[in-house]
Amino acid sequence: MPTPQLADSYRDFSKPVESPAHLTRASLTITQVGGNENPKERLARLVIERVQSEGGSDPHLDTSAFAVRYNGSAVLPLDHLLRDTADASELDLESHVAHFVATTMSSNGWPGNWNDALPRLRPVLKPSTYTLGSPSGLLLSRRVFPLVDELVVVDMPAHREVVSWETIGKWGVDPSTVFAAARSNLATITQHADPTKGRATQRLVDKGGQYFTSWLLDPGWLQSHRRRFGCAPVAFVPDVDTLYVVPSDDSALLARHFRLIEDQYTHTSRSLSPQAYTVDDAGTVVTYDQVRPEDPGSSRARCVHIAKEYAAQESWLTRQYELDRISSDVAAATVKATSFGPRTVTIWADGVDCTLPQTDLVAFYRDGSPPFYVQFEDVSSITGMRPMDGLDPVRYRVPAWPPAGIVEQLRAHSISID
């Protein structure tokens, strides 16, 4: 299966940059030419505007060298870019410029060695599908919560650069050292709860550089809210920039937040998790459904989380199948209300080559017959199906409807969901 080239998608541009209110020096002169710009003027204008949007200070054109200078001594030579984009459309030109400026500014400010990088390292939380389609093992990451990974970034003036395995190889350090350093740096910016502030709900929105959602990686931070609330705290991180903390002993408040968080999570392109997080008796941060599995809000949040991560994977895998001319239906994971609470369900249909997600239940559909539902563990055991390599969340390729004898065993293990 070919791996798509993601280029800048490996970089995390979540750190907002204030755009200047006006253009500077040579860029102002160029834009005054308007529709009479020649190719060199147009390219220089686009580069200057992009440098500004990336946070570069005082970008201006050095006409003698045909280069844009910024931040005092930093230089972006434009000759090669002009040649490479000679026949590009306006849209393609803007895309080339964005990539050129972002990667070149990044290399200009990138720490050259481990000692330079060390104080800039920060941990970040990303959904499990964040690295979807990247070459295996490219980015340094590890699973810390269900469907949520911890990555490490280098905190740059205008953006964050995600650390790769290749980078730590150049630095000459091992992964555990990098993660430990990032968390140590995080500990210097987390702010533990003030017990005198009462039980008010806390909402923190990252405007750049605060790493609020990463604070979940510090168990002491979440635990500190226990003293403020007088009960176990519950945290939510619906997107990569927003963090909520509420008390767990107010069921109505908690239910309202589960609804609020699900709505926010499902309506943003920067989603992280709809689940709630708390601290268990051992002082470890865990998902709320692990300590309160009977809570309907936490059960539904788990299901919504699984369904959305599989939906992201479904879109990507369908494109890969089309490129490889593989005929297999990439099945969805859906959330279904049952008599025993919300559950995730997928469909195994007769006559269809399916690529199934791992859900709570599998619905077996055959024309003319009502569906029957079997728990996934039983389906896996009875059919002997095995997970596909290289997919996270895991999927199972089932090229055909099971033989009659297997279907009878599955039917014998079916359960009522009403």
Instruction: Report the pLDDT value the prediction gives residue 134, as an integer from 0 to 100.
Output: 67
Instruction: Report the pLDDT value the prediction gives residue 197, as an integer from 0 to 100.
Output: 84
Q: What is the amino acid identity at position 312? A: A
- Residue 379: name the closest of 326, 313, 331 by CA: 331
- How far is residue 351's CA from residue 318's CA, in Å, rounded to a whole number? 19
- How far is residue 259's CA from residue 188's CA, in Å, rounded to a whole number? 33
Structure tokens at 187: 């500990």
- Per the listing, tokens 């293990």 go with 413
Where do the structural domains in the chain lie, given as residue ranges? 7-109, 114-187, 195-292, 310-412
Distances (CA, A) of 91 to 87, 94, 372: 12, 5, 51
**Pairing label, strands 148-155, 121-127:** antiparallel
Instruction: Report the pLDDT value the prediction gives residue 195, as an integer from 0 to 100.
Output: 87
Instruction: Report the pLDDT value the prediction gives residue 37, as an integer from 0 to 100.
Output: 80
Instruction: Report the pLDDT value the prediction gives residue 334, as an integer from 0 to 100.
Output: 98
Instruction: Report the pLDDT value the prediction gives residue 108, as an integer from 0 to 100.
Output: 64
How would you write the chain as a 3-class SS string?
Answer: CCCCCCHHHHCECCCCCCCCCCCCHHHHHHHCCHHHCCHHHHHHHHHHHHHHHCCCCCCEEECCCCEEEECCCEEEECHHHHHHCCCCCHHHHHHHHHHHHHHHHHHHHCCCCHHHHHHHEEEEEEECCCCCCCCCCCECEEEEECCEEEEEEEECCCCEEECEHHHHHHHCCCHHHHHHHHHHHHHCCCCCCCHHHCCCCEEEECCCCCCHHHHHHCHHHHHHHHHHHCCCEEEECCECCEEEEEECCCHHHHHHHHHHHHHHHHCCCCECCCCEEEECCCCCEEEHHHHCCCCHHHHHHHHHHHHHHHHHHHHHHHHHHHHHCCCCEECCCEEEEECCEEEEEEEEECCCCEEEECCCEEEEEECCEEEEEEEHHHHHHHHCCCECCCCCCCEEEECCCCCHHHHHHHHHCCECCC
Overall size of the chain counted in residues = 418
Half-sphere exposure of 211 (CA within 13 A, CB side): 29
- How far is residue 246's CA from residue 232's CA, in Å, rounded to a whole number? 9
- Please state the separation of Cα 119 from the chain's center in Å: 24
Instruction: Report the pLDDT value the prediction gives residue 109, as an integer from 0 to 100.
Output: 65
- Residue 274: name the closest of 284, 286, 285, 259 by CA: 259
How crowded is residue 32: how many other Cβ atoms within 10 Å of its Cβ? 10
**Pairing label, strands 341-349, 361-366:** parallel
- How far is residue 334's CA from residue 142's CA, in Å, rounded to a whole number? 26
- Residue 272: name the closest of 151, 357, 122, 137 by CA: 151
Low-confidence ranges of the chain (pLDDT < 50): 1-34, 136
pTM score of the predicted model: 0.76
